[in-house]
Amino acid sequence: MGSLIGDVPADITGTHLPPEEDAQLVKKYGKIRSVLNMPEVARNGPRIWIGTTTLTKLWTKLNKKFLNQYRCILNTLSVMKESDLDTIIETLSKALITNRESFEVLARQGSSNLSGGDLTYLRSKLHHPPPLPSDINEEELRLGEWLAICQYAIFELIYQLDITALDLLKSIAFGEYDWTQAMALEVICRLHLDGKLPENSIKEIDFHLGSMRHETHLYFAQSLLKRRERDPRFHRIIQQLKNIAFRLALTELGYSEPMTREVLIELGKRIVAANVSEEDLQSLMELFDKNVPRPNGSNLFYWPENFNFRSDDISEYNPTVEEVVDKCLSYKPIIL
């Protein structure tokens, strides 16, 4: 399989591109790439730089068309036999139990013959895994553990398919609640860190977290924290995710790093909105107080400092969330 970006994919031939328009596109694409790959010494004079800029823009446009077209082509390629896919899933799942160190190597080997056409079957196996191997003692596994292990193995294969699987991943990650949501979210994060997805990918996840259940927040937070132990880059992703329910899940798992001002502002907005139960509101206020130096800082959302209920008028007290957050963050304790 050729590279999806930078070169004409090797699998794209006349047999896969019947329209004459696409055949011409391949020809134009190759010409543009040949010019852009010219050595710098061959680009004489300022006019060639203008030409290169124009060609670069055109190449970008054509490249996007190839990406979309290539995904469609992958879904028409011959797929592997279902029995062979079952064997790969079983082998990987067994490795997670007996020899975890070999898991990722086996996953790369097992995915070498996969194509986008195999995604439909892989998805179907997420809830219908192959039978437990006879040499694995079922009594040593917890209830549902074999299913969870197979799901993990399947998502590793999906990850190996790269951005070919992006549409599938998003349909799971941003769809209806399912145990596998958190795994799909994790794979999207991995592809982002690999440089395969744009910066706004994490913002897109953060946006959708608002409509997800607590279980997904918890499983997703847990998976990112585990990944961070092996790959420090995941720490940056954790910091980028500002959804308050997700931050609460991190806290529940023992994550204690102070919140940024931006996250505190989002938390403050949730507190002021007061559209949650009294118990949940109390949890939000406690979380806020834990992340600012000012004692009981969340009280400032409702009444001013040193407020006297008997003599002071609260009707004119209406600070913005940002003002309260900044006041709490700038607090300096009095040293006696």
CA distance 122 to 89: 9
104, 148, 151, 96: which is closest to 123 by C-alpha? 151
Mean pLDDT, the chain, rounded, equals 81
Note the pLDDT tens digit of each residue in 225-268.
Answer: 999 999 999 999 999 998 988 988 998 898 888 888 988 998 89
292, 285, 250, 245: which is closest to 268 by C-alpha? 285
CA distance 119 to 162: 12
Structure tokens at 335: 């040293």
Does position 66 have pLDDT exceeding 80, yes or no?
no
Phi-psi region at 307: left, alpha or beta (left = phi > 0; alpha = psi -120 to 50): beta
- Mean local confidence (pLDDT), 280-306: 91
Contact 101, 154 (CB under 8 A): no
**What dihedral angle (degrees, nearest 10) is formed by the CA atoms of 223, 224, 228, 234?**
150
**What dihedral angle (degrees, nearest 10) is formed by the CA atoms of 159, 161, 166, 171?**
-70
Tell me if residue 316 falls in helix, strand or coil.
Answer: coil
Which residues touch 297 (CB under 8 Å, ≥6 apart)?
288, 289, 324, 327, 328, 331
CA distance 129 to 131: 6
Contact 136, 97 (CB under 8 A): yes
Q: What is the pLDDT of residue 266?
A: 86
Identity (one letter) of the amino acid at 63? N
Rg over alpha carbons for the chain, rounded to the nearest Å, is 26
What's the first-to-final CA gap in the chain, in angstroms?
70
Q: What is the pLDDT of residue 49?
A: 39
Does position 158 have pLDDT exceeding 50, yes or no?
yes
Place of tokens 């008997």: 310
Place of tokens 């549409």: 167
CA distance 166 to 153: 17
CA distance 259 to 241: 11
Q: What is the pLDDT of residue 97?
A: 93
Contact 133, 94 (CB under 8 A): yes
205, 236, 207, 203: which is closest to 220 by C-alpha? 205
Note the pLDDT tens digit of each residue in 106-126.
Answer: 999 999 989 999 999 999 999
CA distance 77 to 153: 23
- Mean local confidence (pLDDT), 58-83: 59
**Residue 62 pLDDT level (bands cut at 50, 70, 90):** low
**Residue 67 pLDDT level (bands cut at 50, 70, 90):** low
- pTM higher than 0.75: no
Structure tokens at 198: 């744009």
Domain ranges of the chain: 20-74, 264-329
Contact 330, 297 (CB under 8 A): no
**Residue 56 pLDDT level (bands cut at 50, 70, 90):** low
